[in-house]
Amino acid sequence: MNTLKKISDYIWKIPKKEKMKVDAYIFTDEEGLKLNSEALEQIKNVASLPGIVKAAYGMPDIHWGYGFPIGGVAAFDSENGIISPGGVGFDINCGVRLLTTTIKFDENKSRIRQLIEKIYNYVPVGVGSTSSKKYNKKDFKKIVEQGAVAVIEMGFGLQEDIEYIEDNGKIMPASFQDISPKAFERGREELGTLGSGNHFLEIQLVERIYNRKIAGLFDLFEGQLVIMIHTGSRGFGHQIATDYIQLMRTHLKKHNANLPDKQLINAPFKSELGQKYYSAMNCAANYAFANRQIITHYIRKAVREIFNIDIKVFYDITHNIAKLESHNINGVEKKVIVHRKGATRAFGPGRPEIPKKYVDAGQPVIIPGDMGTASYILVGTKKAEEYAFSSTAHGAGRTLGRRQAMRTLDLAKVLKNLEKKNIIIISKNKKTIIQEAPDAYKDIDKIASIVDELGISKRVARLIPLAVIKG
């Protein structure tokens, strides 16, 4: 804390010193800094890794994680830099998809419970939940190599959905050969399942519009029902992270001999092991895109049965990923491997990666709340490109660990608070309700306000939960 330099109300600098190769910047307020001293130490450690360029960054929702802090962003030279499983996380491509409807809440209040219960009947949830379909090796290979594209060909969705998924739902290179038999076994039964922890499925109300022009382009209006899916690559992604951390420990001992934290284990990006992890990580990312696509199919089925209408994919974003992207580094356009762990890509207007419908506005950004708190739709900016490799926050960030929440929060009070807000909650596990209570997280409204004032993404709409499914 003593080394921090205040640049502005929401920008703090940790100047390069000791083993740090670049400066580190934290985007938060004073209260956010005090809550996250361990995470600040982690971002300093990230700044010491080989091949890091420009700076290491912490988003407003930064908190302690495995190796890299959650809410951490760093980019490494594609020729001389590294790739780190700890900079991606265990839940590879834990992401968010928003589905839009033409349904008006005021006219359909009485049908919300019916809809959430029908969705719950269709989508398996909880730890170790499995789908009714067990994929064979041939189909599974196609899914992990082609992502949402593959499952749409299998009948889970519409061709037009592809345009509204980050990377069009398929990241390359991705080879089935680079995943272990154990990862295959863990993944083959979990496609189309929600999982547990902070993952959720919510029916939400568009409560407030901040930018009417962009909201119109995004097909959002006040009083509208939307549905949010928050889940990732399940046990498949977790196994891939576990496998490659062990491989790097076994085969790259000399390379990783002087790490400030052994959880920052990594491989040179251009090395054989670095490329194999990159491919396997992309397989997990594709799996997550496919997972959210299959869940979308079941939600569509539920909505059609109750409302007799079709719903659209607004956008699908990824949070935990390392991507090869072009960025301006000290005036030179360079290919870098950007690690976003608990951070959202936030490209400004004009980038070719953005769907044509949104390209003049900027990339949609979805920052989810959890269970009893608001979520936000924002839009990426050119300023995000200048600041942090086109990145912004991904959520509220925890203030209480799950064990701490179990010790300090009361289930009856959590449920009573949800009832006061007229939020319907369906959960397989009472423990999850306590662990994911709003009191375990930072103030999402403040997070959205900070990124908006910084200009790294701008608020478009505020969404509030009406009904929630937790694992």
CA distance 249 to 9: 41
Conformational region of residue 390, where left means phi above 0, alpha means psi within -120 to 50, and beta covers everything else: left
What's the confidence (pLDDT) of residue 3?
79
Give the residue among 325, 308, 437 at the shortest CA–CA distance from 384: 325
Report helix angle 272-307 to 112-122, nearest 10: 140
Give the Å distances, CA to CA, from 462 to 141, 171, 246, 449. Answer: 39, 30, 42, 11
Query: In angstroms, rounded to a whole number, what is the distance separating the alpha carbons of residues 94 and 88?
Result: 10
* C-alpha–C-alpha distance, residues 148 and 66, integer Å: 28
Domain count, the chain: 1
Candidates 63, 238, 339, 394; catalytic one: 394
DSSP state of 69: P
Which residues pair with residue 279 across a beta bridge?
none
Task: Quote the pTM value.
Answer: 0.96
What tens-digit pLDDT sequence spans the chain (471 residues)?
567 999 999 999 999 998 999 999 999 998 888 777 889 999 999 999 999 999 999 999 999 999 999 999 999 999 999 999 999 999 999 999 999 999 999 999 999 999 999 999 999 887 777 777 789 999 999 999 999 999 999 999 999 999 999 999 999 999 999 999 999 999 999 999 998 878 999 999 999 999 999 999 999 999 999 999 999 999 999 999 999 999 999 999 999 999 999 999 999 999 999 999 999 999 999 999 999 999 999 999 999 999 999 999 999 999 999 999 999 998 999 999 999 999 999 999 999 999 999 999 999 999 999 788 999 999 999 999 888 999 999 987 666 777 888 888 888 888 888 888 899 999 877 788 888 877 777 789 999 999 999 999 999 999 999 999 987
pLDDT at 12: 96
Please name which of 379, 459, 19 lies closest in space to residue 208, comparing C-alpha atoms.
459
Can you name the residues that pair with 334 across neighbouring β-strands? 327
Contact 437, 405 (CB under 8 A): yes
- Which of these, 368, 361, 326, lies nearest to 344 by C-alpha position? 368
230 is catalytic: no
Asked if 369 and 375 touch (Cβ cutoff 8 Å), the reply is: yes
Q: How far is CA 129 from the centre of its chain?
A: 20
The parent domain of residue 310 ranges over 5-470
For residue 283 the two structure tokens come to 């397989």
Q: 78: which residues sit within 8 A by CB, 6+ positions away?
A: 269, 270, 324, 334, 335, 336, 337
* CATH code of the domain containing 351: 3.90.1860.10
- List the one residue out of 13, 58, 63 whose CA is nearest residue 35: 63
Report H helices in 360-426: 382-387, 402-408, 411-420
Q: What was the pLDDT predicted at 205? A: 98
Give the separation between CA 229 and CA 107, rounded to whole angstroms.
23
CB neighbourhood size of 80 (10 A): 12
pLDDT of residue 398: 66
In the chain, helix, strand, coil percent, each to 5? 40, 25, 35
Torsion of CA 11, 390, 159, 467, to 10 degrees: 0
Q: How far is CA 437 from CA 206, 334, 398, 412, 425, in A?
A: 22, 42, 10, 11, 12
Dist CA 268 CA 64 (whole Å) = 24
Give the residue from 74, 63, 60, 31 showing the smallest Cα distance to 451.
Answer: 60
Per-residue model confidence (pLDDT) at position 104? 97
